[in-house]
Structure 1
Amino acid sequence: MIKFEGINMSDCLVNETLTALKKRLVNQEIEVQGERGFLYKVEFEFNPPASDSKIREFEKNNNITLPVDYKQFLLMHNGAVLFEPWFGGGFELHSLWRIIDSKLEGMPEEWFPIGYQDGGQLFIDTSVANENYLIWLDSSILEDAKYLNMNFEAWLDRFVVAQGAKFWEWE
């Protein structure tokens, strides 16, 4: 059992979501129904886990504390590509090194990009003290940033249930 600073992975929604998803995959693929009834196959790529020492080093070097649920993901997979159709456009969840590499100039220091899809980025706002720390930015204009009012484990669970659709943009 993986543990990090008291994190028990068996009690983790991130673990439950990814374990159930992986059980459905055949050769890292699954067929999904997208919006407007479009059926297509998508692929998944899961990186090896980050070690607890690498996560601590990342936090120390960047003077931040990552949210516990996001650390749970990193302990399972230090990055992943989810719902990648053959024509591109899957959601990339960044590895620790890619987070720093993906930081945009002019973004607030406390925003850390953890994912990317179709030009939009998913950020963790490390200055937020509650569980609603995720931000979606579909451009490079700060005023377009949208707080998603959820944490990473809720986002991941809903993203899988929505079969890779940007559910946060639904009306």
Structure 2
Amino acid sequence: MEVIEDLLRAFKSLLDDEGKINVLWYNSLESGIAVNSFNPPVGKEDLAELVDKHPDVPSSYIDFLKIHNGASLFESYSSELKMNIGGGCYLYSAQEIININAEHPIPDYLILGSLLDGQMLLINKEDNTNSPNERPLVLWGEVGDLTHLHVDFTMFLHRYLTAQGASFWEWPNESISRYKANLKHRKKNWF
């Protein structure tokens, strides 16, 4: 729990009293504001029910729930509209994990959260690559396509916070020429 606790403490020290943080949006090269919100710790009964129904929940996610029973990370904020306008990542509470996996079961997978661009954050319950308690995360898109992230929950959270909510898992697949073409498309004459 110490790693998750230290990571969250360091990240939250960067936020203002409303959970806002100034960010550099990766895809647009513009600055903006993102909002983060954290639920209080999970109750003992809810945690016991989650572990009973879903013993495959990673131990690092359980550590997270003991600190914050769910969170919304890097949701875009519009200063003009004075409201959150979407995006980011939503990490489910214990009860939300129980409910969504009962309502929308995906064989061999457990839903832990969602990226607010329509993807679900999952673990493969059958993948013991790292250890039985720390399975790698997978993204499930709207059309059922899977993206293996090759990170466990602790590594995902650390990288997601460090990348300011950007899709860090796509970066290794981006060539220099594609990167520069994307930048030129977004900002004319940038290079």
Verify same fold: TM over 0.5: yes
Stretches of structure 2 that go unaligned for 5 or more consecutive residues are 78-84, 174-191
SS in 2 for 1:25: coil
Instruction: Say which is worse superposed, 129-138 or 118-127, in terms of deviation.
Output: 129-138
User: Larger Rg: 1 or 2?
Assistant: 2
CA distance in 2: counterparts of 1:147 and 1:65, whole angstroms: 18
Number of the residue aligned with 2:125: 126
Per-residue deviation at 1:18? 0.7
Per-residue deviation at 1:106? 6.0
Change (3 A) 1:106 1:113: closer
Give yes or no for contact 1:83–1:163 (8 Å, CA) kept in 2. yes
- Mapping for residues 5-84 of structure 1, pairs under 5 Å: 9=1, 12-27=2-17, 28-35=19-26, 36-60=28-52, 62-84=53-75
1:150 equivalenced with 2:182 (yes/no) = no
Q: Please report the TM-score for the alignment, with normalisation by the length of structure 2.
A: 0.75
1:89 equivalenced with 2:87 (yes/no) = yes
Change (3 A) 1:77 1:63: closer
Stretches of structure 1 that go unaligned for 5 or more consecutive residues are 1-8
Q: What CA RMSD, in Å, does the superposition of the two structures yield over aligned residues?
A: 1.8
Number of the residue aligned with 1:4: none
**How many residue pairs were aligned?**
157
Q: Please report the TM-score for the alignment, with normalisation by the length of structure 1.
A: 0.83
**Which one-letter code corresponds to 1:151 in the other structure?**
D
Instruction: Say which is worse superposed, 97-106 or 159-168, in terms of deviation.
Output: 97-106
CA distance in 1: counterparts of 2:59 and 2:105, whole angstroms: 27
Picking from 137, 142, 150, the partner of 2:140 is: 137
Per-residue deviation at 1:102? 2.5
CA distance in 2: counterparts of 1:53 and 1:102, whole angstroms: 18
Number of the residue aligned with 2:82: none
CA distance in 2: counterparts of 1:115 and 1:24, whole angstroms: 23
Give yes or no for contact 2:139–2:148 (8 Å, CA) kept in 1. yes
SS in 2 for 1:24: coil
